[in-house]
Structures are given as C-alpha cells and as structure tokens.
C-alpha cells in the first residue's frame, strides 16, 4: 500500500474513533477523500449528524410510506441501479431487491418530511447512500442529507432556490475568469434576461450521481460535498466549467454548450476538480456568495452558513505563514550577526 494512503487511513481511523468532526471534514476535502467505503459507512452518518436525530428513525418503516409523489418515484426507481459501474454485476433478483429498498428510502424521506418535495434525481442520491449503508442507514443518511444539504432543492418550486443557486455560478466565474463568464452569460441571455446555465441542473440537484459512472469516483465527490458546505455543488460545477474555458469561448449558441457538457463529467479528473472547488471556497466563502445573490434565499435555507473546515484550513495556513516569517526573521538576524562578526574579526586581524 502507498505510504501516503496508509498514513491517511491511520488519520481517518484516529479521527473517527475520537469523533473529531472537523478533522474528518478536512480528510474529506484532502486528496482521495475518505478512501474506503467501509470508512464512509461509519463517517458519513457522523457528518450528517445521525447520532443526534430523534428516535423515530428506528421505526421509520412502521407506517404506510405512500405519498403524493409515489407514482413518479416508482417510475424513476424502475429505471435505477443501472448507471453505476458496480451495478453491472447485479442480476435481476439483486436489482429488484435493491429497488424495493430504494423505494422505501425515497418514499420514507418524503413521508416523514411533508415539507419536502420530491424532484427527479433525488433517488440517485439516495441510491448512493443505499449502496454504502444498506436500507436502514441509507434512509437515515438520505433524510439528513435532504434536511441539511439539499433542502433548497426540495422546495415546491425551483424558482425559490435552485435557479437562484445556479445563478451563483456566474458570480464565481466572474471572479475566476471574467472573459469566460461574459461568454457564458451571453449564451444564456434571452431578451436581456440572464438565465441560469441549465446544462448544470442535474449536477446541482444530484451531486453528479446522475452523471458519474465510476462509483468510487462518485463517493469521493460525496466526501467533498458532505465535508464542506451545501453550496459545494455550485463550486464543483464552476470548477468543471473552468476546465472547459477554451471550448466554451468557441461556442456560439446554447445547444453547443449543452451538447458539449452532456457526457463530459465522467471523463474529468474529479480529484483535481474537488481541489479547484475548495480553492474557490477559500477565495470566495459560501456565506459571501449567498449574501451577494440578487435573489434572497429563504430564512431556513440550508445554504446559509460558513465552511468550518475552510476556516480551520485558513488558520493553519496563517499559522504556517507566521512560522515561516518568524524563521525568516530569525535567519536574517543570525546571518547579520555572523556577517558583522566576520567583519570585526577581519578588522582585528588587519
């Protein structure tokens, strides 16, 4: 085993045993994320505060889970569990049983949280939690993810939150590459009205679970999402767009952009994308991005809040800078002392 990976696994083990959530979030952001699905099964629930939820979760299947979205949910589930590479080995019996569990999870989240509204693609997020944690833990993780991370995507209308959230992509791009931002804005402006970049809708809604085939890669992206902030999909999306600046600048129409991005994500280096996204978070913190939005988000929005792991990272960086400055000053003093001493000795000998 690679020494770096082995060292990180030891760090993950230590932080997990000590329930050091901030350290675990740091490890989620660092290269390779949590590495192992066995660790994800233990750590994702901690990040989703499952230790602190009410006891109703223990008996969540004891009621009729049917709801007003059940028919739509079933149609989505009937097409599910084909897209990930690990699903290729499933026979129809395994897939059938997993779909029953997935149906329970998705319907359970909606039934137990009547203020949440199902969107097509939520089942893809839930299927990731199911494959990591099984039915019971998968339900708990899906429910908490819905409340703590994607609540704004589960409002009655996307107009209230999802579309304004997507507009933040332009704000990030203006800071990172104004020329690229202007080009994309020109493509999505109709009759003087700037529209959200719709090619990224499924990325934002499903945490790329509808777009990434390699399950390990997807889980690494989930590490990043769970370890940072509910706005992480916006930063990930912006990082992806920035990798394609040359191509975007050559496009003339919206269909060109949509066609280019239709099957691109699965070909990208998502490790590098996560690193770029986190650097953007450090440069433009989510709380600043939310405040800068032309459209105000609801008071109970999950998007309001800071990235604690980013604050800790910045403190560490400042501490390192202070230490390096101190060392530099100390070295200058020593060198000056030695030079002066050498000059004095030279004068004496002279």
CATH number at 275 reads: 1.10.472.80
Give Cβ neighbours of residue 340 (< 8 Å, ≥ 6 apart). none
Q: What is the mean pLDDT of residues 263-282?
A: 95
162-176 and 178-187 helices cross at what angle (nearest 10)?
140
β-pairing verdict for 193-194 and 189-190: antiparallel
pLDDT higher than 90, residue 200: yes
Same domain, 302 and 313: no
Predicted pLDDT of residue 281: 96
Q: What is the mean pLDDT of residues 218-226?
A: 98
- Per-residue pLDDT tens over the stretch 155-195: 999 988 899 999 999 999 999 999 999 999 999 998 888 99
pLDDT given for residue 51 in this prediction: 77
User: In whole angstroms, what is the distance from residue 35 CA to residue 11 CA?
Assistant: 12
Based on the domain organization, do 139 and 217 belong to the same domain?
Answer: no
Gap between the Cα atoms of 87 and 94, Å rounded: 10
Query: In the listed set 111, 127, 154, which residue is the last one of a domain according to the structure?
Result: 154
Distances (CA, A) of 281 to 126, 200, 233: 26, 19, 11
d(CA 128, CA 50): 17
In a shared domain, residues 40 and 139: yes
List the structure tokens of 162: 């999802």
Question: Are 167 and 215 in a shared domain?
Answer: yes
| Alpha-carbon Rg for the chain in angstroms | 24
Least confident interval from 245-249, 286-290, 310-314: 310-314
Per residue in 117-150, pLDDT (tens digit) is 999 999 999 999 999 999 999 999 999 999 999 9
* Arithmetic mean of pLDDT, 4-27: 96
Angstrom distance (rounded) from CA 175 to CA 173: 5
Residue 174 buriedness (CB in 10 A; 0-12 / 13-18 / 19+) = middle
| 150 and 163 co-located in one domain | no
CA dihedral (76, 77, 78, 84) in degrees, to 10, reads 100
Name the nearest CA neighbour of 18 among 43, 49, 50, 52.
43
Residue 320 banded pLDDT, cuts 50, 70, 90? very low
Q: What is the pLDDT of residues 77-118, one digit of tens each?
A: 999 999 999 999 999 999 999 999 999 999 999 999 999 999
Longest dimension (CA), the chain: 100
Take residue 10 and report the two structure tokens written for it.
């030891």
Q: What is the DSSP letter of 296?
A: P
Other C-beta atoms lying within 10 Å of the C-beta of residue 172: 24
Return d(Cα 166, Cα 213) in angstroms, integer: 24
Domain identity same for 142 and 277: no
Structural domain span for residue 57: 3-154
168 and 297 share one domain:
yes
For residues 296 and 164, membership in a common domain is answered with yes
Are residues 254 and 218 part of one domain? yes
Residue finishing a domain among 122, 154, 186: 154
243 contacts 161 by C-beta, under 8 angstroms: no
Query: Residue 314: pLDDT above 80?
Result: no
The two counts, helices (H) then strands (E), for the chain are: 16, 2
Listed residues 108, 128, 154: the one ending a domain: 154
Residues 219, 322: one domain?
no
Q: Give strand ranges (E) for the chain.
A: 189-190, 193-194
State whether 16 and 88 are in the same domain. yes
Structure tokens at 16: 């997990």
CATH number at residue 132: 1.10.8.1310
What would the 3-class secondary structure string for 174-198 be?
HHHCHHHHHHHHHHCEECCEECCCH
Element of type H or E holding 338? helix 308-349
Nearest CA-CA partner of 256 in 169, 189, 188: 188
Q: How confident is the model at residue 350 (pLDDT cuts 50, 70, 90)?
A: low
Number of neighbouring beta carbons within 10 Å of residue 16? 18
Same domain, 93 and 20: yes
pLDDT at 31: 96
How many domains does the chain contain in total? Answer: 3
């Amino acid at each position: 085993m690679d020494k770096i990976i082995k060292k990180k696994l030891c760090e993950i083990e230590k932080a997990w045993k000590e329930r050091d959530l901030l350290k675990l979030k740091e490890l989620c952001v660092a290269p390779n994320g949590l590495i192992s699905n066995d660790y994800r099964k233990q750590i994702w629930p901690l990040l989703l505060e499952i230790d602190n939820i009410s006891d109703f979760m223990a008996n969540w299947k004891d009621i009729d889970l049917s709801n007003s979205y059940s028919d739509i949910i079933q149609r989505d589930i009937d097409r599910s569990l084909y897209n990930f590479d690990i699903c290729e080995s499933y026979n129809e019996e395994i897939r059938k049983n997993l779909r029953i569990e997935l149906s329970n999870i998705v319907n359970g989240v909606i039934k137990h949280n009547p203020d949440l509204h199902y969107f097509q693609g939520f089942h893809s997020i839930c299927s990731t939690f199911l494959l990591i944690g099984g039915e019971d833990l998968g339900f708990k993780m899906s429910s908490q993810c819905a409340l703590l991370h994607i609540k704004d995507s589960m409002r009655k209308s996307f107009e209230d939150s999802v579309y304004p959230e997507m507009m933040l992509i332009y704000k990030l791009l203006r800071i990172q590459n104004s020329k690229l931002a202007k080009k994309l804005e020109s493509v999505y402006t109709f009759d003087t009205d700037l529209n959200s970049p719709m090619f990224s809708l499924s990325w934002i809604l499903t945490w790329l679970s509808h777009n990434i085939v390699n399950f390990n890669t997807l889980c690494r992206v989930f590490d990043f999402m769970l370890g940072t902030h509910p706005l992480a999909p916006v930063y990930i999306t912006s990082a992806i767009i920035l990798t394609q600046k040359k191509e975007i600048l050559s496009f003339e129409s919206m269909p060109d952009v949509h066609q280019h991005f239709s099957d691109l994500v699965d070909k990208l280096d998502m490790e590098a994308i996560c690193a770029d996204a986190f650097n953007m978070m450090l440069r433009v913190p989510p709380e600043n991005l939310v405040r800068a939005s032309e459209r105000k988000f609801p008071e109970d929005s999950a998007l309001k809040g800071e990235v604690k792991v980013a604050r800790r990272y910045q403190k560490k960086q400042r501490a390192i800078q202070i230490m390096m400055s101190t060392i530099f000053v100390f070295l200058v003093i020593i060198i000056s002392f030695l030079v002066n001493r050498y000059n004095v000795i030279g004068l004496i000998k002279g």
